[in-house]
Structure 1
């Protein structure tokens, strides 16, 4: 005989049960995890620069923006650029009582009004590469001047866009050069381990970078010195409009994008950002070639002063990277060549011994041979040379140079 009462499971509406299951599927958490893409995105957002995420469909660009908005407690406003008309961004004309004297204001769309009322938020312009040229032209003022019709978006609004490569975009267009040059371009890819852990319920946590308030003036000075130094030496890098249409739709150098790069360097310096993240940001602003030149210039700026090393070799700390270490050792030898003194010569040998003990032996071969050739007749061969004998035959070379210099 069937039971007179039914369980709550049996009496619950089917869609309510489905809603409970969906709620469980959406119940995820976050964890602190090194993610260079997410770190680059949050730093650019912190620097108040528009960001454009490039990536294939379905790899999580939109999900990353949703997670970022939630972590930063910013309301997310998503606008699919490709399904809008130019007037949705430039505003619709509204004729008043006396247009001859009052003019015709441009009425903004509802999403812009909501952002202004909130005073802050994350504006997500999705499917940017499928927006036709007329819509891209209307977006210029939104991205650069933050104007939508007669409204100006408040300073608390950040702008992030997403686009698919033309090869995988539905009816895709190349970005116009004026619009492309207004963004920090980040290539968005998926990390297998991140995806697996995320599907298991744990995603990386997005957080704005922590800026050291004591480093702000030095960070600005460092960024200005780096960019201005490079452009002084390489004036042709100031503005280079690419010749191909595809490259014009990406990152390329202009006074505007160099200003963006300068801002990013300052923020990255104040936050102690890794070189990998800074590389993504710089190359995504001025392009790969100029960006790599700027990074190389930054490396040279961070190198220790040869005179400081010669003054206190016992406390010296040499760069870990082989190319930078070689540059430092060559600079030390060059400093001794310019002002040859016995104490400085001995200090240089001590630095070469330190380089031998903490790095690859082949890096000291050329500097040691050059330093040996600087020996004066009355300079006694230091014991440090003997420590280097296992890597290079410096002691014998120094003796031969000394014998050849005697009358």
Structure 2
């Protein structure tokens, strides 16, 4: 084929690839964006060729950051642990572990997305090396900047060449999202129009309330359902997906806070939460959230006399935890004293035991010059015993 023929073929290809966009919605992409905003590693599960890489490109474009794609299945453990570079005096300076080029580019840019594709096709030794990248953000001697987000993709073992189940320690560090396709969207895309999706953005003005409400919700739920704090599945396939542990509940806390702070839709937030703690625990937690309906703790602190304490014990604990977390986020004498007014209502309602833990947390925030408020009398014995009241 002549050069001119290649040029004509390239023009044809460019014309085929030129598309337009229209406003659309995707639960899975919004859930991915929510987890990325919370700076949690994400693992996309889906059959080959259904658009996981395309979704990553769209997310990187929407966030305005660079994307580095690494095919995990074709790499050796040393590609993630680093290759030794012997210096002039290794006895004194040690042996540096040289990072790969993709890690250097991300470190230089200061932010970005790294996408580890075909993770389930990587042998256990490679998965073990990747564990340090996910857990410590360390690649050889190089530490990835905090604004660099980690996303991986895996094919189910049934459809992956030489597929492996993920080890439980690695699986338990990801938010697991099932990646599917919509046939009508694909058909419209082939006609030249693809959806342009909105990326959730955290509202800085809502951060304090979002964190307080999320802390209250997760603490209240785990108090009511202590058996779901940690549950390692029995079979290997389930251990390679999402399951509840203290680590994944912390992930759920971050997801919930991010969801509240960016007004995430119910479906994307639910998808992300289930992807963190698994189907069973996730569905129970979502049902709990539906019934919880926590008021804004900052509004309560602004006028503590007007609120009504919830009836159920787990909801009371969730509410009081949220109030204390809100005070901790912005501790002033007025807000601290308002917190004691709230806790005093729990005593008046005949449930001082529910407020005991919140009282201890609130007491340790007291500055030496702040006088002891009247609402603290009911907790004096407990606080003196714990040493929380100085």
TM-score, length of structure 2 as denominator length: 0.73
User: Where does residue 361 of structure 1 map in the other structure?
Assistant: none
Superposed counterparts of 1:263-302, under 5 Å: 263-302=254-293
Q: Is the contact made by 2:245 and 2:277 (CA closer than 8 Å) also made in structure 1? A: yes
- Aligned to 1:205, the other structure's residue is in SS state strand
Q: Deviations over 1:102-141 (max 9, x none)?
A: 1111111111111111222211100001000000000011
Q: Deviations over 1:161-194 (max 9, x none)?
A: 1110001011100001111111110001101221
Is the alpha carbon distance of 1:71 and 1:169 closer, same or farther for their aligned partners in structure 2, counting shifts above 3 Å? same
User: Where does residue 322 of structure 2 map in the other structure?
Assistant: none
- Quote the Cα distance in structure 2 between the aligned partners of 1:101 and 1:253: 45
Q: Is the contact made by 1:42 and 1:207 (CA closer than 8 Å) also made in structure 2? A: no
- The Cα RMSD (Å) is 2.0
Q: Is the contact made by 1:197 and 1:203 (CA closer than 8 Å) also made in structure 2? A: yes
User: Where does residue 8 of structure 1 map in the other structure?
Assistant: none
Q: Is the contact made by 2:211 and 2:257 (CA closer than 8 Å) also made in structure 1? A: yes
Matched, 1:181 2:203: no
Superposed counterparts of 1:310-325, under 5 Å: none
Matched, 1:75 2:76: no
User: Where does residue 239 of structure 1 map in the other structure?
Assistant: 230
Give the drift of 1:207. Answer: 3.6
Give the drift of 1:18. Answer: 0.7
Aligned with 2:37 (options 17, 30, 46): 46
Is the alpha carbon distance of 1:293 and 1:104 closer, same or farther for their aligned partners in structure 2, counting shifts above 3 Å? same
Is the alpha carbon distance of 1:96 and 1:12 closer, same or farther for their aligned partners in structure 2, counting shifts above 3 Å? closer
- Quote the Cα distance in structure 2 between the aligned partners of 1:80 and 1:61: 13
- Quote the Cα distance in structure 1 between the aligned partners of 2:51 and 2:174: 20
- Quote the Cα distance in structure 2 between the aligned partners of 1:158 and 1:199: 30
Q: Which runs of 5+ in 1 are unaligned?
A: 1-10, 305-327, 332-407
Matched, 1:161 2:157: no
Give the drift of 1:72. Answer: 2.2
Superposed counterparts of 1:194-273, under 5 Å: 194-273=185-264
Which structure is richer in relative contact order (CA contacts within 8 A, separation 6 or more)?
2
User: Where does residue 115 of structure 2 map in the other structure?
Assistant: 124
Is the alpha carbon distance of 1:144 and 1:134 closer, same or farther for their aligned partners in structure 2, counting shifts above 3 Å? same
Q: Which runs of 5+ in 2 are unaligned?
A: 296-309, 313-390
Greater Cα shift, 190-199 or 158-167: 190-199
- Quote the Cα distance in structure 2 between the aligned partners of 1:100 and 1:237: 50
Aligned length: 298
Give the drift of 1:214. Answer: 2.8
Q: Is the contact made by 1:185 and 1:285 (CA closer than 8 Å) also made in structure 2? A: yes
Is the alpha carbon distance of 1:213 and 1:156 closer, same or farther for their aligned partners in structure 2, counting shifts above 3 Å? closer
Give the drift of 1:292. Answer: 1.1
Q: Is the contact made by 2:26 and 2:197 (CA closer than 8 Å) also made in structure 1? A: no
TM-score, length of structure 1 as denominator length: 0.70
